[in-house]
Amino acid sequence: MEIEWAVAAALIGALATFSVWAYASRRRLFERAADLDQALELRTTELESARLQLQRLSTEDPLTAVANHEQFLEFLEREWRRARRDGLPLSLIFIDVDHFRAYNRQFGRKAGDEVLKQVGRALAALVGRPGDLVARYHRDEFALVLASTDGPGSIKIAEQVRTAVRDLKLPAAKDAPDEFVTASVATSTAVPQRESAWEELDLIKAARHALREARSSGGNRVLRANLGLAGPPELVVTRR
């Protein structure tokens, strides 16, 4: 009888020990699972952050933080298709910092980069609708895409752009005609039509043609390229 009680007591003790061990093991497993879930969540967050960062870098100009050239072309093509479908005007504005090479020669590349950063911020502050885009087109050239904006509307914004750049009051190079950094600005507007052979590249060509005219005629001015309603684009430069 005593042996049976002893055996029973030993079994009870073993069961108690096993229960404590099982409870502790299960708790450790739960804690480990919670740690794994937390680590997985953190890793997922890091991967999503990296994906967004990569996406931002692929569409953003690293110096000025506005859209880059590739994003500009994709955005313009998309808005051109939308404008042609809906029969709405689409405007493009090109901006070139006047006498930028002379500025870099006198003040250095780092100071020139700072000018571009400030111009980019000034342009971004002027537009903000979903159908608008600010982009760095090439070196010291910027571009604005303005959806549902007609010619007079684009001229108004172009004049605001010209004024905003000069109002930065950045000292110009000694060879420049103005005491502050200025910009040449050009606009082009079209209402894309299904039966027309126009493409968004024609809008770019017209605006950049007007930009060269603005630059060669002294800068710090707005010129407009008017595109006719039929046939190939016709450039009509209008001094402001």
pLDDT in tens, the chain (240 residues): 555 656 555 656 566 665 666 666 777 777 776 666 676 565 554 444 444 344 444 699 999 999 999 999 999 999 999 999 999 999 999 999 999 999 999 999 999 999 999 999 999 999 878 889 999 999 999 999 999 999 999 999 999 999 999 999 999 999 899 999 999 999 999 988 877 667 888 899 999 999 999 999 999 999 998 765 444 555 555 554
Strands (E), the chain: 90-97, 132-138, 141-147, 183-190, 222-226, 237-239
CB proximity list for 129: less than 8 A, separation 6 or greater: 147
Would the pTM count as exceeding 0.85?
no
